[in-house]
Amino acid sequence: MGKSLTEIAQQLKDANKKVQLIYAFNGTGKTRLSREFKQLIAPKTDSDGDVQESELAQKKILYYSAFTEDLFYWDNDLELDAEPKLKIQPNAFTKWVLQEQGQDRNITATFQHYTNDKLTPHFSDDFSEVTFSFERGNNQQESNVKISKGEESNFIWSMFYSLIELMISELNVAELANRSTNVFNNLEYVLIDDPVSSLDENHLIELAVSLATLIKSSKSDIKFIISTHNPLFYNVLYNEVDAKFGNILRRYEDGTFDLEEKKGDSNHSFSYHLFLKRTLEQAILQNDIQKYHFTLLRNLYEKTANFLGYPRWSDLLPDDKQVYFQRIINFTSHSTLSNEAVAEPTEPEKQIVKFLLDDLTNNYRFWQQV
C-alpha cells in the first residue's frame, strides 16, 4: 500500500541526508510533494504575509518551484500594449537579494548566459518590477520586450541561484560572529523542483554541473532536496554530486505514492539509457552532433556496461582501437562541461559518435531485452 505525500515528505525529512535527488515523470506529484515538505518544515503562519526586514532570518527553508514563479506576474499594459513589465510581489527573498545585497548585475549575467547576451533586464529603482530590452545590432535597441515563458523561468532561476550562492558563502564561515549577516543562520533545507526545463541539452548539462559544484562547496549542515522530471538533468546531477543513491517518485492508481530508493547505477531503471540512445540517434540523423554528445555517448556506454556486468565501460569499445576511442571520448566529454565556448566537432569526430553507437547497438544484445 502506498503513502500520502505528507508521509513521503516525512520520509525525506527522516532520511537526514546532505543531498537527496528525486526523479518523477511529469504529473506524478513532485511539485505537490515539494509543497508538502515546505509545509512540514515551516508551517505557514499568520505573519508569513508580512515582509519584515528580519523575515528571511526566520526562514528554515529556501524553496524554488512552480509556486516560486507565482511571485512574478506580468503587467502587459493592455491599454497601450507598449510597456509590458514583469512585476515582483513583495517577498523576503528578492528583497534581500536585490535591495540589500545588490545582486542585480550577477542576476543579469547568469540570465544572459543561459538565454542571450543581447537580452537585458532592467530593474526599477525600488526593484518592484523589471522590463527587458533586446540589442538588435548597429546600436539599435528594442525596448519593452515581452520575453517568453522559458526566458522568464530562466530569469527567476537566476535570481534564486544568486540567493543560494550568497547563502552557501555565508554559512561556510564557521564562526557566527564572523559572518557578515545572520539572515541564513536558521536555514536547514534548500528545496529545488525543476529549476529550468526550457534549456537546450548543452546548457542543461552546464546548469546541473554548476548547481552540483555549488552544493559540493557547502560546508554547513544545510540539506538539499532536488526533484526533476528531466532524465538528463537528473543523471548529470547524480554523477556530479557523487550521489550514492537516488529516489524515484511513483504514483499509484489509488492516488497514493511511493518514494523508491535506487542505489548506485540502478538509477538507470527509469530508462535513461533509452533517452540517451534516442538523443544520439536524432543528432546523427540531423547531422547536429555537438561536443556534449560525447558526454552522452560515454554515459550510455557506462549504463550498458553496468547492466551487462562489465567492470569498465571501455571494455565495450572495439578491441582493435579501444585505447584510442577511450581517449577521444574522455577528452571530448570532459571539455563539454567547462564554461568556455566549445568548437563544433569535426566531421571525423562526428563519425566516431555514429560508429560507436552502431557498434554498441549491433554487438551487445541490450536494446532487444529492454
pLDDT digits (tens, 9 = 90+) for 277-305: 878 888 899 888 887 788 888 888 887 77
Dist CA 267 CA 249 (whole Å) = 12
Q: Going by DSSP bridges, is the β-strand pair 19-23/223-228 parallel, antiparallel, or unpaired?
A: parallel
Task: Report angle CA 113, 116, 86 to the nearest 5 degrees.
Answer: 95
Instruction: Write down the pTM of the prediction.
Output: 0.70
268 closest CA partner among 231, 298, 310, 297 = 231
Average confidence (pLDDT) over 65-76: 86
For residue 212, give every residue at least 6 positions away whose Cβ sits within 8 Å of its Cβ, in sequence order, or none: 236, 237, 240, 241
pLDDT band, residue 321 (cuts 50/70/90): low
Does 310 or 368 have the greater pLDDT score?
Answer: 310
**CA–CA gap between residue 317 and residue 197 (Å, rounded):** 33
Q: Mind listing the pLDDT tens digit for each residue in 9-42?
A: 999 999 989 999 998 877 889 989 999 999 999 8
Where would I find the H helices in the chain? 5-15, 30-41, 66-69, 92-94, 104-114, 149-171, 201-216, 231-240, 272-285, 292-308, 322-335, 347-363
Asked whether residue 48 carries a pLDDT value surpassing 90, the answer given is no
Helix, coil or strand: residue 88: strand
Q: Pick left, alpha or beta for residue 345 (phi over 0 → left; psi -120 to 50 → alpha; otherwise beta).
A: beta
Residue ranges of the domains in the chain?
5-270, 272-369
pLDDT at 54 over 50: no
Rounded Cα–Cα distance for residues 160 and 69 (Å): 10
Phi, psi at 87, each rounded to 5°:
-85, 145
CB 87 within 8 A of CB 76: no
Strand partners, 250: 258
User: The domain at 5-270 falls in which architecture?
Assistant: 3-Layer(aba) Sandwich (3.40)
Checking if the pLDDT of 317 tops 80, the result is yes
Q: For residues 279 and 325, give the distance between their C-alpha atoms in angstroms, rounded to a whole number.
A: 20
List CB contacts of 189: < 8 A, sequence separation 6 or more. 37, 41, 60, 61, 62, 222, 223, 224, 225
Q: How many helices (H) and strands (E) does the chain have?
A: 12, 11
Higher pLDDT, 353 or 307: 353
Which of 84-88, 204-208, 320-324 has the lowest average pLDDT?
A: 320-324
d(CA 23, CA 249): 6
* Residue 254: how many other CB atoms lie within 10 Å: 7
Percent residues over pLDDT 90 in the chain: 37
**340 band by pLDDT with thresholds 50, 70 and 90:** very low
